[in-house]
């Protein structure tokens, strides 16, 4: 494809995109295709000769659109929003044209530098503490991660590196032998041994009934803690034995330290926290949330005290601001000081709700942010920047850089050290020029319109809440925060499951469910940037109509029975 | 920004992109900016009011372009190519407009289904064994990873899950206690314990002199293996003690299995393999390559035998086809059967060179592919698909799915199981609709033109090689494979380092260096899809001119001395 054809094709695509997005309501939000629908629609093999772009263009409607779930339809209320905006699309075009891989500063200075400044801009928009910002002249700074999952993992690895260093200093006997043995075999290995990821992971987000740590249901003990006295005795015995084993086989002792590390988050936190535990191989405890589904400082402190008493090393705590289940907010104002008191790295995961902090009236929900070590939110969720763009700030990125630094010669360059080499701040090596779309979006909307976007969405949620409360067959679950309404028919979980299936089966709007404390409910997330008040009324009428059907069926069945 | 403005802006961007790419030779390939150049060029904070898109457009040249390293210039020979094509750019526009997050089939069926079929198309183009293809009706299938680093890690985790299962069956006593203790505390935890990532990692890509396993230089013992008799005795003692510790504290024994697992790759393999080791927390041994920088079967078998004799559990081997250092090819035809013989998962990393296997004349380099468990290459490197798009095939994805499956309610859907839910095949949860650009590129180029693209690049490398060989001040390092020429001035490493700095300092072309067995050399990678024969002559003249300067300086200094 030569430039003239590209121009024709791309311009036709521009018109197609505008038309698609402006008329997205006309499409069924959830497709009706069955698994495997696509294969028969296209050839079994790639064509030998090039095709015409016009044929490709025609196939977008024929092949692709029937199988698209329209995430940007005002009728899409599932999960959380994913961003989409005209400026971000144009930015991605340019990013695609420049197509640099910005793993080092020299690999494309503009790519790194724009990211540094954009994360400062964003940080200021959120009123983040100075320490997080590169422009403060300190050690801090921001980075765009692909997803919040990556940010969580990066923070976890930084936390691990930091704590390992401290423990090594406090207990030089614990790994002196290891270091020495490594020095004999291979000096360079030592540094990497520091970042071993052999930790034990536990899962989060389990239904509460499975978790002993939720308050005793299901077993009475949490994994690996038992009662305090028994555990201390066991650990004493183990430590004693381990010392001997260490002398016989010096490799053992880093693992010993590692096996003692323990992290914390709320049982309400996202599955990505669990994944970070899996990937990092570290013990993570799911802590009980209060009646508002919020993790409280006293719960964290009790857990830390318990683990310290048990000889464990608390090192990491995740506070979620805006949980996926119900948009609940952990109490950062309490959690942060507890973390600081015990030298536990506090990571704040505000993936969805973080965008709202560009509005001052919501900042009370991030009170205590000055106590955090790292902070993350996803402009690609709720701030009109196309996926992927997850913004993360660290007060002291050194810990993360240390954990990731594996520099082959072909990646070294003269400017090393004078600007962040972002490859050390993330999981993959390569990275796209993602700061561009942030820049385009911020400039072409302006803070005012981004604030208006957030406020409008929050207002739509309140509107839906009011419609729901006015119908006494329904109840609201918890508080309505941000653009999420959790609701259910008064009645059994089964009834609500039937309601959900009915709503999604009608195909006009799309919702997903969740469950807290064994209560099944529906989540109505405001997702689309095209949503207007009439769309909320439409969505509510759909819910009410589906409820009519479900309750009528039930009455009929009861009548028959 | 409303649709009419978007159309104007996007169409102007289309023209800009075409103009940028068609005239990319006119720009200095490496920017001259200093770290920090960008910040003063733009405001300290995001604007309150929206700006005009025309102002943003103007700033592309003013702010961005001065700091761009032009990866698509024919003068860019650093690293390896990253893809860029008009169809991929247009596909990304559409992907950006649809902007779905395809983590489950239902989240956008077209996103999953097109990926399945595109990976079949690609697999057929490479003539991959049927077992890898979804259309074969077996368990196999392909997936797009963001980067090869992710693919390597995914394969490693699959390998771990597979081996853990086998070991558990062979040694039921090793973790029965663990399983039981987990069942009491939390049944669901058991499954996740299976995927604990607490392994010990060693680094790869070390200079050979540091590594005992390279043949005895630098210390005579490899990390943690010592001499066989001593080690067996140590492990016997350890195993005995561990059994007792296990009874006292049942959590220990998964760690024991894990600490025995050992993986292999060549010392020439990519830093991402090392990262996979770090992230997976597993022991990885760097094995010595032969004089062609190729890992041989006998080397692997010797290492496996050594480790088996030492009581370790070999589980994973990475064969690199086209190393980053010198585009060397590990001998898969030998490595594969060795892996199969010892039940070791064979992962093939063909990140760069894999694209060449669409040309039958290069397939001899992937001989033995039928013995592999997973195969990965990056269309985003050398096959005109914009970053990110790394294609991976697995014969039995179940192992990976098991390792990643953490399903909260809000991600469950009715169609689960009838199509791949790709979130279990990758590290992050979210994913873009990346199959689109693959589809656009394959259709709009056709296999013929993609083959021609590969052959043209290989021809340019041969052309550069001939120019280099005709100048007797230079020598070629190793064989010239694919689009990479490794060369150096006859003389010291310092001389070649000076040459490299001179070339990059002149700013007309861009190269990066590498080093094998302490020999420093320059890598000339053919990267741009715009390259023509005259560009190779231009690049060579630049190298020769820089050599003139460097050698003249040297003569002058020697004259003074």
Range of the domain at B479: 447-559
Query: Total structural domains in chain B?
Result: 1
CB contacts of B56 in chain A (<8 Å) are 87, 439-440, 443-444
Which residue, B261, B326, B94, B204, is CA-closest to A408? B204
CA nearest to B426 within chain A: A275
Interface of A with B in 141-160 (CB under 8 A): 146-147, 149-150
* Cβ–Cβ under 8 Å, residues A314 and A163: no
Tell me whether residue B169 is in a domain. Answer: no
Looking at residue A112, its pLDDT comes to 82
- Pick A38's closest partner by Cβ from B98, B110, B280: B110
Q: CB–CB of A510/A527 below 8 Å? A: no
Q: What is the pLDDT of residue A250?
A: 55
Q: From chain B, pick out residues whose CB is under 8 angstroms from the CB of A325.
A: 408, 410
Nearest Cβ partner of A121 from B45, B110, B149? B45
Tell me what pLDDT residue A129 has.
Answer: 81
Which of A92-96, B70-74, B122-126, B246-250 is the least confident region? Answer: B246-250
pLDDT exceeds cutoff 50 at B200: no
Q: What is the pLDDT of residue A149?
A: 56
pLDDT of res. B550: 95
| ipTM rounded to 2 decimals | 0.72
Distance from CA of A81 to the nearest CA of B (A): 10
Q: Give the residue-averaged pLDDT of B412-422.
A: 59
Quote the CA–CA distance of B114 and B116 in Å, as a whole number. Answer: 5
Residue A64 domain-assigned? no
- Within a domain: A499: yes
Backbone angles phi, psi at A124, to 5 degrees: -65, -40
Mean pLDDT, residues B200-221 taken together:
28
Per-range mean pLDDT, top range of A5-14, B74-83, B250-259? A5-14
Whether residue A365 is contained in a domain is answered as no
Q: Is residue B437 part of a domain?
A: no
What pLDDT is stored for residue A18 in this prediction?
Answer: 92
Burial B369-397 (b: 16+ CB within 10 A, else e): bebbbbbbbbbbbbbbbbbbbbbbbbbbb
Could you tell me if residue A480 is inside a domain? yes
Q: Which of residues 62-101 of B touch A (CB under 8 A)?
A: 63-69, 71-72, 79, 82-90, 92-94, 96-101
Neighbours of B74 (CB within 10 A): 23
Mutate to test the interface with B, among A151, A257, A279 (most CBs of B within 10 A): A279
Interchain CB contact of B309 with A (< 8 Å): no
**Among A407, A409, A449, beta carbon nearest to B513:** A409
| B25 lies in some domain | no
- Span B512-552, pLDDT tens digits: 899 999 999 999 999 888 889 999 999 999 999 999 999 99
Q: B423: distance to nearest CA of chain A, Å?
A: 11
Interface of A with B in 225-244 (CB under 8 A): 234-235, 237-238, 241-242, 244
Do B280 and A197 lie within an 8 Å CB cutoff? yes
Substitution target from A27, A85, A98 for chain B, most B beta carbons within 10 A: A98
Strands across the sheet with A390-394, in order?
A141-145, A390-394, A374-377, A345-349, A313-320, A261-266, A283-287
Lookup: tokens for A228? 């305090």
* CA–CA gap between residue A111 and residue B66 (Å, rounded): 11
Q: pTM score, two decimals?
A: 0.75
Is residue B480 included in any domain, yes or no?
yes
pLDDT value of position B112: 82
Question: For residue A384, what pLDDT is reported?
Answer: 84
Task: For chain A, say whether B192 makes contact (Cβ under 8 Å).
Answer: yes
Yes or no, beta carbons of A281 and B196 under 8 Å apart: yes
Kindly state the tokens that stand for A477: 């679950």
* Whole-angstrom distance, CA of residue B367 vs CA of residue B336: 9
Q: What is the full per-residue pLDDT of chain A (561 aa) written as tens digits? A: 788 999 999 999 999 999 999 998 888 888 888 888 888 888 877 788 788 889 888 988 988 888 888 888 888 887 767 777 888 888 888 888 887 776 677 777 887 888 888 888 878 877 788 888 888 887 778 877 766 656 666 666 666 666 666 666 766 665 332 322 222 211 111 112 222 222 212 222 323 332 333 343 222 122 111 111 222 222 222 223 333 444 554 554 556 666 777 788 898 887 667 666 655 556 778 899 999 999 999 999 999 999 889 877 777 888 999 998 999 999 999 999 999 998 888 888 888 898 898 888 998 998 988 888 888 888 888 888 777 777 777 777 667 665 555 555 655 666 555 556 666 666 556 666 777 777 778 788 888 888 899 999 999 999 999 999 999 999 999 999 999 999 999 999 999 999 999 998 888 888 889 999 999 999 999 988 888 999 999 999 999 999 999 999 888 887 664
Q: CB B427 to CB A33 under 8 A? A: no
Give B102-137 pLDDT, tens digit per residue. Answer: 667 777 788 788 888 888 887 887 778 888 888 888
Interval B163-185: pLDDT, tens? 666 666 766 665 332 322 222 21
> Smallest CA–CA separation between A547 and chain B, in Å?
20
Of residues B28 and A226, more confidence is placed in B28
For A:414-433, CB contacts with B below 8 A are 414-415, 418-419, 427-430, 432
Contacts of B122 (CB under 8 A, 6+ apart): A46, B142, B379, B391, B438, B442
CATH code for the domain in which residue A485 is found = 3.90.1150.10
| Residue B249: predicted pLDDT | 47
pLDDT at B221 over 50: no
**Inter-chain contact A9–B120, Cβ cutoff 8 Å?**
no
Report CB contact under 8 Å: B101, A56. no
Confidence (pLDDT) at A173: 61
Chain B closest CA to A336's CA: distance in Å? 27
A178 three-class SS = helix
| Res B129: pLDDT | 81
Query: Does residue B218 surpass a pLDDT of 60?
Result: no
């Amino acid at each position: 494809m030569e430039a003239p054809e590209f121009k024709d094709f791309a311009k036709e695509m521009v018109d197609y995109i505008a038309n698609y997005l402006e008329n997205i309501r006309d499409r069924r939000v959830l497709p009706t295709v069955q698994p495997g629908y696509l294969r028969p629609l296209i050839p079994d093999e790639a064509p030998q000769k090039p095709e015409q772009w016009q044929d490709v263009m025609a196939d977008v409607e024929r092949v692709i659109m029937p199988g698209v779930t329209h995430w940007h339809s005002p009728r899409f209320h599932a999960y959380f929003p994913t961003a989409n905006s005209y400026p971000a699309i144009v930015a991605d075009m340019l990013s695609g044209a420049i197509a640099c891989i910005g793993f080092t500063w020299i690999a494309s200075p503009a790519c790194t530098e724009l990211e540094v400044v954009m994360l400062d801009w964003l940080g200021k928009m959120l009123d983040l503490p100075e320490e997080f910002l590169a422009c403060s002249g300190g050690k801090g700074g921001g980075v765009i991660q692909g997803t919040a999952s990556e940010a969580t993992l990066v923070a976890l690895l930084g936390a691990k590196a930091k704590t390992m260093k401290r423990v090594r200093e406090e207990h030089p006997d614990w790994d002196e032998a290891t270091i020495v043995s490594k020095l004999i075999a291979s000096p360079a290995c030592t540094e990497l041994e520091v970042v071993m990821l052999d930790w034990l992971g536990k899962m989060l987000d389990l239904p509460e009934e499975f978790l002993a740590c939720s308050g005793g249901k299901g077993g009475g003990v949490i994994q690996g803690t038992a009662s305090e006295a028994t555990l201390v005795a066991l650990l004493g015995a183990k430590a004693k034995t381990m010392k001997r084993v260490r002398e016989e086989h010096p490799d053992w002792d880093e693992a010993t330290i590692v096996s003692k590390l323990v992290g914390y988050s709320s049982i309400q936190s996202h599955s990505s926290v669990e994944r970070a535990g899996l990937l990092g191989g570290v013990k993570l405890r799911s802590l009980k949330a209060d009646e508002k589904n919020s993790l409280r400082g006293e719960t964290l402190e009790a857990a830390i005290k318990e683990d310290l008493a048990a000889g464990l090393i608390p090192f990491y705590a995740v506070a979620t601001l805006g949980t996926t289940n119900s948009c609940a907010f952990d109490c950062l104002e309490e959690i942060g000081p507890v973390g600081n008191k015990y030298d536990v790295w506090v990571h704040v995961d505000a993936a969805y709700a973080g965008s709202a902090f560009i509005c001052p009236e919501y900042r009370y929900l991030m009170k205590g942010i000055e106590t955090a070590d790292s902070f993350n939110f996803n402009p690609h969720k709720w701030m009109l920047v196309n996926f992927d763009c997850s913004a993360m700030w660290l007060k002291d990125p050194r810990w993360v850089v240390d954990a990731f630094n594996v520099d082959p010669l072909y990646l070294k360059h003269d400017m090393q050290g004078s600007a962040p080499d972002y490859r050390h701040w993330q999981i993959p090596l390569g990275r796209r020029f993602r700061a561009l779309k942030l820049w385009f979006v911020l400039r072409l909307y302006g803070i005012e319109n981004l604030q208006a976007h957030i406020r409008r969405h929050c207002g739509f949620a309140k509107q839906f809440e009011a419609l729901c409360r006015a119908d006494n067959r329904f109840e609201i679950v918890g508080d309505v925060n941000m653009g999420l309404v959790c609701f259910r028919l008064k009645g059994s979980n089964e009834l609500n499951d039937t309601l959900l299936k009915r709503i999604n089966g009608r195909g006009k709007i799309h919702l997903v469910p969740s469950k807290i404390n064994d209560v099944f409910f529906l989540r109505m997330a405001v997702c689309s940037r095209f949503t207007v008040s009439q769309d909320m009324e439409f969505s509510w009428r759909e819910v009410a109509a589906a409820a009519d059907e479900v309750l009528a069926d039930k009455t009929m069945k009861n009548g028959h029975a």
